Structure 1
Amino acid sequence: MKFLNPLRPAVLIKRYKRFLADVQLPNGDVITIHCPNTGAMTGCARPGMKVWISDSGNPKRKYRYTWELAETTEGDMICVNTQRANQIAGELLQQGMLEPFTELTAEQKYGYDNRRIDWQGIDANGNLTFIEVKSVTLAVQQQGYFPDTVSERARQHLASLQTMASEGHRAMVLYVVLHSAIRQVSAAEHIDAKYAEACIMAKQAGVEFNAIQCQISAEEIKPSAMICVK
């Protein structure tokens, strides 16, 4: 996934009200930008961090700029825009990096509760496959965790996937790892024990768990390699 326009560097002053952040541009100007991430953003939003922002090009938009990337003091790159995860997942699925799928479609309604699945396709054996995409940015050294805050919604997604698996379809969670330090992913039992328990139940029901590592730069984000989900 290439950024359509060059990202602008800035320095983070603070994130607040979940969807807003103040940053300082290289010329000294301080502006308020949109933060497209509803999570805790632990380790991703420290004041003083170098960040990169995208320009919508629309001066009439209330917050013209969007926060895309952050860089840790160790030099690790993080994509904080959770909307990018689905775009990256679409690229790797269409390229067959996970496995070959045909008839790939995004945002399809499914299941008893009429939810929307991130991606739906047909695998090489003709199985209808439901793929729920999650972005992972919480890192403790090289260990990645999901979620970074208690998430009832994530547990509901697992329940819906479990239902699809019980009906004979393939169902999977695809963690898109958007922190360059992460080498493996686990359920964050220390943050959301119910989600971790739901993962165990989903695996027992046949739900598959995969994770893709990404190369992150101010020019593009590229899916690079599958990594372990424990």
Structure 2
Amino acid sequence: MKFPSLLLHGRLVSRYKRFFADVVLDDGTAVTAHCPNPGAMLGVNQPGMGVWLSRSDDPKRKLAHTLELVEVGNGLVGVNTLAPNRLVAEALAADAIPELAGYQTIRREVKYGEASRVDFLLTHPGRPACWLEIKNCHLSRNPPLAEFPDCVAARSAKHLRELQAMVLAGDRAVVLFTVQRQDCEAFSACRDIDPKFAAALDEAANAGVEVLVYACGMTTGGIGIDRRIDWRR
């Protein structure tokens, strides 16, 4: 997935009200950027951190800039929670995720469960349908371990219960965590931050929901699904 524009570098001043980030660009210009991340952004929201912004010339946008990447250590972390679905869509189209390859039809935002929409529904003649939920992961308090969530994630726990229902109905169900950083080699649920989500993930896996975790390749030019990493229960 290529970024929509050449990214601009700056320093984070403040992230506030969930969807706003004040940034001073390297040329000294102060801008307010859209922050497409409703989570706590633990570890990637400290003032002074290096950040990378995309810019849109769309006159309908209230904010021209979007916070895309944060510099952590010697690497980059993707904080745009809209990116994972785009990354996975590209990977599915290219059969780049072996566990999800070979489906004839890929549909997005299909209604299911309790007033929910699954991120992807994969179908193929003669095979059970595959209901696929995507979760964004950028938290790593103790590299090389990635963790999810970084705040209470009741809606994500609900999605896991709905995936279980698909398995009980005879279909396949998968939750795919996309880790938008390269310094992680394993993944775990954050039991201290949201024990209910961690328990829901265990329950879903025990019921037959497949848990996949993929780390991403990160550059200032774009992001791509890179390699599978282990889930530590």
* TM-score (normalised: structure 1): 0.95
Note the C-alpha offset of 1:154: 0.6
Q: Is it true that 1:119 corresponds to 2:120 in the alignment? A: yes
Question: In 2, distance between residues paired with 1:52 and 1:134?
Answer: 22
Between the aligned partners of 1:91 and 1:125, the Cα distance in structure 2 is 24
Q: Distance in 2 between matches of 1:125 and 1:192?
A: 39
Give the drift of 1:59: 4.4
Partner of 2:10: 10
Distance in 2 between the 1:61 and 1:120 partners?
31
> What does residue 33 of structure 1 align with?
33
The yes-or-no answer on 1:57 pairing with 2:57 is: yes
Q: Distance in 1 between matches of 2:29 and 2:202?
A: 49
Structure 1 unmatched ranges of 5 or more: none
Tell me the alpha carbon deviations over residues 35-71 of structure 1, each in whole angstroms, 9 at most, x when there is no partner: 0000110111111111111111124522111100011
Aligned residue type for 1:164: M
SS of corresponding position for 2:44: coil
- Contact 2:4–2:54 (Cα < 8 Å) also in 1: no
> Which residue in the other structure is 2:136 paired with?
135
User: 1: distance between equivalents of 2:19 and 2:4?
Assistant: 22
Q: CA deviation at 1:123?
A: 5.5
Q: Determine the C-alpha separation between the residues in 2 that align with 1:142 and 1:175.
A: 15
Q: Distance in 1 between matches of 2:53 and 2:190?
A: 29
Q: State the distance in 2 between where 1:211 and 1:166 align.
A: 23
Structure 2 Cα separation of the partners of residues 42 and 114 of structure 1: 30
Higher mean C-alpha deviation, range 89-98 or range 185-194: 89-98
The answer to whether the 8 Å contact 2:13/2:47 transfers is: yes
CA contact (8 A) 1:94 1:101 kept: no
Q: Deviations over 1:77-128 (max 9, x none)?
A: 10100000100111112221223222011111123x1310001102585110
Uncovered stretches (5+) of structure 2, i.e. residues with no partner: none
**SS in structure 1 of the partner of residue 159 of structure 2:** helix
Alignment correspondent of 2:166:
164
Shift in Å, 1:29: 1.5
How well do the aligned residues superpose, as a CA RMSD in angstroms? Answer: 1.3
Alignment partner, residue 144 of structure 1: 146
Q: Distance in 2 between matches of 1:156 and 1:60?
A: 34
Q: Tell me the SS of whatever aligns to 2:208.
A: coil
State percent identity of aligned pairs. Answer: 37
Match of 1:191 among 185, 190, 193: 193
What amino acid is aligned across from residue 84 of structure 1 in structure 2?
A: A
TM-score, L = length of structure 2: 0.94
Whole-angstrom CA distance in 1 between matches of 2:181 and 2:71: 9
Residue 181 (structure 2) aligns with: 179
Q: C-alpha distance in 1, partners of 2:104/2:231?
A: 25
Name the SS for the 2:229 alignment partner: strand
Q: Distance in 2 between matches of 1:184 and 1:95?
A: 25
Q: 1:60 to 1:93 in 2, by over 3 A?
A: closer
Are the aligned partners of 1:100 and 1:124 in contact in 2 as well (CA < 8 Å)?
Answer: no
Q: Does 1:155 align with 2:157?
A: yes
Aligned residues: 228
- 2:220 corresponds in structure 1 to 218
Task: State the distance in 1 between where 2:94 and 2:59 align.
Answer: 36
